[in-house]
Structure 1
Amino acid sequence: MITRSRQHGMGIVGILGVLAMLGFFAMCIIKMIPPYSEFISIRDIVVDIVKDPESVEKSSSEIRRKVDYTFNTNQIYELNWKEVEVYRKKGKHYIDARYEVRMPILWRIDAVLKFDDLLFEIGDPTPLTTPP
């Protein structure tokens, strides 16, 4: 009686499946890098405005103008400066720049990047967790 020894391991179909999954995730990461890097720029802009000692004394419209100017200078496209809310509540100014980006990935598959840690009180560079 002759017994054959079988090799165990991943076949060509399994390898192709793993490569397809890795390719899909790599494509997702590559498509998400530009919105995420723009979020980092937006966060830095808003934190700079919040930390500026002159911002405490400015009105809401002056802060909005500064946000508009800085967004245009840094070529921010994902978030329109008009969508950034600057308001006054209980004698303090707040900047709310929270937003989300929806991008198509493949056919009917979309990715949603939600940037919800962009709510600040003027003068305090730590983000607020809940609106005042």
Structure 2
Amino acid sequence: MKRTQGGMTLIGFIIVLAVVGVFIYMGMKLIPMYSEYYAVKRALSEMSTDAAVENADPQKIRDLFFRRLYVSYAENVTKDDFKIARKDAGWEITVDYEVRKPLIGNLDVVGHFVAQQKLNRGAGG
């Protein structure tokens, strides 16, 4: 009785390796974009519980937000992406920005991120 070997050929292995490599490369481009987005969300969330923000004016709130982003190494959010508007008894902050990273050749990965947070004003404001 003749036994045949089963398994992957060298060409099959190279193809699988190439596909896995492309996915790893894409992950290397996407993960920093999403980690920056979560840093923005974390900064907004921390501001909603910060006592220094309760009676602050919009310019002070903007400065506090960008200080928090500076610590997180978030570099794609600009001052134009930050909007603050009066909402009920407080403020509503909207951070709407886009990140574009080159992928392969002339193909780019584009991420559009929007984060919102409501800030309540203190009794003195």
Q: TM-score w.r.t. structure 2 length?
A: 0.76
Instruction: Tell me which amino acid in the other structure corresponds to 2:85.
Output: Y
The answer for unaligned runs of 5 or more in structure 2 is 121-125
Instruction: Give the aligned partner of residue 84 of structure 1.
Output: 82
Q: CA 1:15–1:74 in structure 2 vs 1: closer, same or farther (change >3 Å)? A: closer
1:129 is matched with none
Q: Residue 20 of structure 1: CA displacement?
A: 0.5
Question: Alignment partner for residue 33 of structure 2, among 32, 35, 50?
Answer: 35
Alignment partner of 2:24: what SS?
A: helix
Q: How many residues align?
A: 120
Distance in 1 (alpha carbons) for counterparts of 2:46 and 2:68:
10
Q: Kindly, what percent of the aligned residue pairs are identical?
A: 24
Provide structure 1 residue ranges, at least 5 long, that are not aligned to the other structure: 124-132
| Larger strand fraction of residues | 2
Give the RMSD, CA atoms, in angstroms. 2.5
Q: Take 2:24 and 2:106, find their aligned partners in 1: how far apart are those partners?
A: 18
2:109 matched residue in structure 1: 111
Contact 1:50/1:121 (<8 A) preserved: yes
Q: Distance in 1 between matches of 2:80 and 2:113?
A: 17
> 1:77: Cα distance to partner?
0.7
Mapped partners of 1:75, 1:22: distance in 2: 29
